[in-house]
Amino acid sequence: MPSDPRDWIAISQLPGIGPATLAKLFRGKWTPDRLIADQHDSFQLTSPHLTSPGPGSQQLSFPRLNSVQIAQLTSYVKQTGPLWEKTNQFVNQLDAMQIQCILSDSDSYPALLRKAADHPVLLFVQGNLEALHLPIVSIVGSRNASAAGLRHAYQFSASLSQAGFVVASGLALGIDGAAHQAAVDLGLPTVAVMGTGSDRLYPLRHKKLSEKILGCGGALVTELLPGSGPLAAHFPRRNRIISGLSTGVLVVEAALKSGSLITARLGLNQGREVFALPGSIDHPGSRGCHALIREGAVLVESVEHMLDELSTMLGVLRQASDNISPSSQENNLSTDQNLILTSIDFSLTLLEEIVDRLGLLDSPLTSHLQSSLVELELFGWIEAVGGGYRRIR
C-alpha cells in the first residue's frame, strides 16, 4: 500500500523531527499508527526493508518519542487536536494552490534525486512534474554577480536549454535568476528549487519570473511546508535538492564561502559531474570556481565542453525518463511514434543508431520510419542535426 502523504506531513511537524530523522522513520515505514502502537515496546526495531537479525542484517535505532510527541501523534491518529487540524490546513492549502505532494517512494518522484542518500521524504511541486524527469543541469553562482557572470549564466542556460536539458537553479538573485530567465525567454522549462514554502516566494522581486517559469512548462519545487520563510538553515537543504536533481552542476561565479560551493560539493558527493567557469585571479567571484577546479571540477569555457562530458550520461537519463508510460505523457502520439521517440537521445542520435535500438531490420516500422521522424520533427519533439536527430523535449 502506498504511503499517505498526510501522515508524513503530520510527522514532519512533530517537535524534534528533522529531515534526517524523518527519512529514517520513512525508510522504516514508521507510520503514526505504528509509532503509537510500539511505544510500549523497545524502540530498538528492525526495518521492514531489511532482513531479520542475523548475518548481514542491519537494525535501525530510534529514540523513544517524548510525552509531547506522543500526545500530539495520539490525537492525530484519533483525528482530533491541533496536529490533525494543522495538517488538514496544509493539505487544503496545497490543494488550493494546485501543488502536488510527492513522497520518495512514489513513481512520480524524480529517479535521480532518489539515488541521493540525503534526498527529502516530501517534495512539493507546483507546475509541470514531468520537467523533473527530463535531463537536468543546474546552474548556480553568486547573488552579487558581475555583469560578465550574469551574461555567462544566461548564455550557458540558453545553450543548455536548446540542447534539450532542463536548467535548474535556486530562484535567487544574480546567477540563479539569469539562468532561469534564459530558459523562459526561449519558452522552455526550467526548475526552481525554493528555500521557502510554496506560498512564500523569495525574493519577492522574482514573482513575475516564477509565473513565467510555470507558464513555460517548468516547476517550482520545495521540501518545506507552506508558511516556511527564508531562514538561513533552509538554503543548504535546498542546495542538496538542486544537485540531487541534476546530472551536472555548473558554477559560474562563487566566493570561497558560499552556498554555490556547498551545492557543487554536494554534487560531487552525490556522484554528479561538476563544472566551473574560470575567471580572473583578481575577482573574488572566481576564487570559488578555481577551488572547485583544483578539487576535480571540470574547467569549461563553452557549453560544448559540458555537452561532451554529459553526453555519455544522456542514454541513462533517457531510459529513466522513458519509464514514464506514453499514456501518462499525454503527448497525443501514436504507439509507433512514441516507440521511435524513446530511441532518440537528447544529444545527436544517428539514423543507424535509431534503427539498431528499435531492431527495425525485419520490422514493419521500417517502411514508415522516415515519415514518422518527419512527423516528430513537425510536432516539435525532435530536430534534425548533423546527419541524425536530437530530442528537444
Q: Decide if 126-311 and 325-391 have a common fold.
A: no
Triad 187, 193, 198: Cα angle to 5°: 100
Average pLDDT, integer, range 8-18: 94
Tell me the sheet residues that pair with 249.
138, 274
Inform me whether the pLDDT recorded for 130 exceeds 50.
Answer: yes
Decide if pLDDT at 231 tops 60.
yes
Helix (H, G, I), strand (E, B) or coil at 89: helix
Buried b (16+ CB within 10 A) or exposed e, 29-46: ebbbeebbeeeeeeeeee
The residues pairing with 222 across neighbouring beta strands, listed in sequence order, are 124
* Architecture in CATH of 126-311: 3-Layer(aba) Sandwich (3.40)
- Give the pairing type, strands 190-193 and 136-140: unpaired
- pTM value is 0.74
* Residue-level pLDDT at 169: 97
pLDDT band at 365 (very low <50, low <70, confident <90, very high): low
Predicted pLDDT at 319: 44
Task: Decide which of 257 and 204 is more confident.
Answer: 204
| Pairing relationship of beta strands 136-140 and 248-251 according to DSSP bridges | parallel
Rounded to the nearest integer, the mean pLDDT of the chain is: 84
What pLDDT, on a 0 to 100 scale, did the predictor assign at position 317?
A: 45
Edge-first strand order for the sheet with 298-299 is 99-103, 122-127, 219-222, 190-193, 166-169, 136-140, 248-251, 273-276, 298-299
Is residue 304 classed exposed, middle or buried when 0-12, 13-18 and 19+ CB atoms within 10 A define those classes? exposed
Cell digits for 325?
508510460
Q: pLDDT band at residue 270, thresholds of 50, 70 and 90?
A: confident
Q: At residue 320, does pLDDT exceed 60?
A: no
Q: Cα–Cα distance between 121 and 123 in angstroms, integer?
A: 7
Confidence label for 363 from pLDDT (cuts 50, 70 and 90): low
Closest CA to 382 of 392, 372, 374, 368: 392
- pLDDT tier for residue 367 given thresholds of 50, 70 and 90: low
Identify which of 392, 343, 330 has the alpha carbon closest to the alpha carbon of residue 369: 343
pLDDT at 326 over 60: no
pLDDT in tens, 274-312: 999 998 887 888 888 998 898 888 999 888 888 888 875
- Note the pLDDT tens digit of each residue in 50-101: 333 334 334 445 546 788 988 999 999 999 999 999 999 999 999 999 999 9
Write out the CATH class of domain 325-391. mainly alpha
In the chain, where the domains are located: 5-96, 126-311, 325-391
What pLDDT score does 2 carry? 66
* 333 bridge partner residues: none
**Predicted local confidence at residue 210, as pLDDT:** 97
Alpha helices in the chain (DSSP H): 5-13, 19-27, 32-37, 67-77, 81-96, 111-114, 147-162, 175-185, 207-215, 234-245, 259-269, 284-294, 303-322, 326-329, 335-341, 351-358, 369-378
Lowest-confidence range among 117-126, 156-165, 177-186, 261-270? 261-270
The distance between the two most distant Cα atoms of the chain, rounded to a whole number of Å, is 71
pLDDT digits (tens, 9 = 90+) for 44-53: 443 444 333 3
- Cell numbers found for residue 305: 565542453
Cα angle: 241, vertex 247, 252; to 5 degrees: 80
Apex 232 CA angle, 226 and 237, nearest 5: 65
What pLDDT shows up at residue 329?
39
- Pick the most confident of 49-53, 318-322, 350-354: 350-354
Mean pLDDT over 229-250 rounds to 93
Confidence of residue 40 (pLDDT cuts 50, 70, 90): low
Residue 53: cis peptide before it, omega within 30 degrees of 0: no
Asked whether 278 and 290 are in contact (CB, 8 A), the reply is yes
Tell me how far apart the alpha carbons of residues 32 and 202 are, in angstroms, rounded to a whole number.
33
Given a contact cutoff of 8 angstroms between Cβ atoms, the answer to whether 145 and 244 are in contact is: no
**How many Å apart are CA 165 and CA 392, to the nearest integer?**
8
